[in-house]
Structure 1
Amino acid sequence: MDIKECYEILGITKKATDEQVKKAYREKSKQFHPDLHRDDKDATAKFAKVSEAYRLILENREKKHKSIFNFGTIFSDAGSKTNTEKKKETTKSEKPESEQKGIRGSDVYTTVEIAFEESILGCRKEITVQHEEICPCSKEENRTDNCTICNNTGKVLKKFIYDISIPRGIFSGQVLKIKGKGNVGINGGENGDLVINIQVKQKKGFVRTGQDVVYYMTISFPQAVLGAVINVPTAYGTVNCEIPAGIKPGEQLCLAGKGVIDEETGEVGCQYVNITIDIPKIEKTEDIEILLRQVQDKLYDKPVNANI
């Protein structure tokens, strides 16, 4: 995609500041995040497109910054070149572009799937990828006109194993980039990058919303009436959650510090426990008697189920 399309995807113009670009990216990420829009089959593709647009904008701005600096350097040196140097430059410019400078190698793409807990806590993964490397025949001491390894292309496909670190709080659809681990460049050009698309497995009962996590739990009628202390799973392990007596369906309880950490600020979100109450059907007198007995005996100390 071109840079104009990247700005259109984020809903901003080229005049936007770096902070405005970052803000637009965060807003679009929430708008298309697959965990928040499970009914939208295209959510993952849209989210990946937003992430790619953001990456390309940052790279484009970085290149512009470097080109401005280089222009200033060249301008300050203008007029200081000798006739011999100018003649060399003229000769060089007459050569094909591919011979004048190296061509960057292409990027290599792969996908890594991680568990919901790993996306919150961070993890390390060992991945296996294939990308091009320079063939040994390209070295002066090994040069030959008939290489059976690469068929005189100068490049050979090899398998590599990398141990990668996946940061805490990563979203599904975000990409990690390992510089220089893509396909080899041409004529001394730099290598491409290894681009890793992260996919987070959905976990039953859990939904992530930014730095917070929502856990949907169904409790029994006696628990809702009398209150209870219930074990609640989190990414950090199981914790006790106190259900107050008389809680209503749809109410949320906050487990502070059990959400996602913000790597920039160090702040940690919450895990909210969204309550649903399993209200039994009363069809006959015996049902009322059973329900009253359950309330009196306080036998229920575990949730009926935990799902969305």
Structure 2
Amino acid sequence: MSNNPYDLLGVKSTATDKEIKAAYRKLAKELHPDLNPGDAKAEERFKAISGAYAILGDKEQRARFDRGEIDETGKEKPEQQYYRNYAGAGPETHYYTSDAFGDFGDESDLFSELFRRARSKESARGRGFKGPIRGQDVHYQLKVDFLDAARGAKKRITMPDGSTLDVSVPAGIRDGQSIRLKGKGSTGFNNGPNGDAYVKIEISPHRLYRREGRDILIDLPISLDEAVLGAKISVPTIHGKVNMAIPAGASSGQTLRLKGKGIAAGKSGTDGDQLVRIKVVLPKKIDPELKEFMEKWRSENAYSVRQELEGAL
């Protein structure tokens, strides 16, 4: 039989979550080792369908499998980005995880009782169950500064037991994206592999920068004389300050581009740019000389800047 988890559970790739759960429940009732003592084939099939349900019964894992990011055993495919492997994949075999039993909650159901026993390591030992059990996955949330997310950084998470977990935040990671730390979840049982740790990134907003795709956006205030006469000024970017030429006659809302000063694309793609939106700022106090000059200038050089608005009325 195919190792594809959909085939193992006997469902189509378009099956609903409810249909997948029902298919697994039916097969598990038939194949559970406690109901088939000494039946090696039933035990192997039980491991296989449990491994399949560990993927398809988890919305995130199912989506990743459908996208081709993980294989039928739940292992990371080598071409995926933003993931760091901390442990070897182990032998080529299927494992089932105690996570797969968490959504069968009918206390009067013998099936639920069997799964409660399988969840408990001590119970598994007492009943002589020898199959490998994959450790549970764990989930964390990590708040990251805007610049650390844009440029990449090393972060450390302190876990509930006081131990620490080092996380490499890749440059350009997006808000809400998760980093998978292979083998850093709960410990497996009976030589089963450890679960994985998933770290969801929450990016703090920055007072100057905003992000659109790989581009960085910033509003740049300039003075009246810089707008009229042009200037060369220092502009902050996520990579450090650079000099930029303001053209004479620059207007508020005009956008200038700093090529390649956005989010780095890494090995593939094109680096983002920094888009600088001009904002002309008048002095807080208009002195008499400037006022007199502008009054004379307006009388001789007045021009309309709202023609489009006037035509819309």
| TM-score, structure 1 as length reference | 0.53
Match of 1:194 in 2: 197
Q: List aligned pairs for 1:40-59, cutoff 5 A.
A: 54-55=63-64, 57-58=66-67
Rate the CA distance shift 1:105–1:58 in 2: closer, same or farther, 3 A. farther
CA contact (8 A) 2:136 2:196 kept: yes
CA distance in 1, matches of 2:217, 2:153: 22
Match among 252, 269, 282 for residue 255 of structure 2: 252
Q: Deviations over 1:100-123 (max 9, x none)?
A: 633322211112222222112111
CA contact (8 A) 1:104 1:190 kept: yes
Match among 153, 164, 169 for residue 172 of structure 2: 169
Match of 1:36 in 2: none
Match among 135, 152, 174 for residue 105 of structure 1: 135
CA distance in 2, matches of 1:257, 1:207: 16
Shift of 1:160: 2.1
Q: Deviations over 1:247-291 (max 9, x none)?
A: 122211111121111124163211110112225799996651487
Q: List aligned pairs for 1:216-255, cutoff 5 A.
A: 216-255=219-258
Quick one: which amino acid aligns to residue 133 of structure 2? I
CA distance in 2, matches of 1:254, 1:6: 47
CA distance in 2, matches of 1:6, 1:125: 38
Match of 1:125 in 2: 155
Match of 1:212 in 2: 215
Rate the CA distance shift 1:283–1:261 in 2: closer, same or farther, 3 A. closer
SS in 1 for 2:133: coil
CA contact (8 A) 2:64 2:70 kept: no
CA distance in 2, matches of 1:235, 1:188: 46
Shift of 1:202: 0.9
Shift of 1:185: 2.4
Match among 87, 97, 114 for residue 144 of structure 2: 114
- Residue correspondences, number: 194
Q: Mind listing any 5+ residue stretches in structure 2 that lack a counterpart? A: 1-5, 7-12, 18-58, 76-113, 119-128, 296-313
Rate the CA distance shift 1:212–1:163 in 2: closer, same or farther, 3 A. same
SS in 2 for 1:273: strand
CA distance in 2, matches of 1:230, 1:4: 57
CA contact (8 A) 1:282 1:288 kept: no
Match of 2:78 in 1: none
Match of 1:62 in 2: 71
CA contact (8 A) 2:65 2:72 kept: no
CA contact (8 A) 2:132 2:191 kept: yes
Rate the CA distance shift 1:183–1:201 in 2: closer, same or farther, 3 A. same
CA distance in 2, matches of 1:229, 1:58: 48
CA distance in 1, matches of 2:74, 2:143: 35
Rate the CA distance shift 1:160–1:282 in 2: closer, same or farther, 3 A. closer
Q: Deviations over 1:56-102 (max 9, x none)?
A: 53468621899xxxxxxxxxxxxxxxxxxxxxxxxxxxxx7843633
Q: Mind listing any 5+ residue stretches in structure 1 that lack a counterpart? A: 8-49, 67-95, 131-157, 293-308
Q: Deviations over 1:219-258 (max 9, x none)?
A: 2222211112222111111111111110122211111121
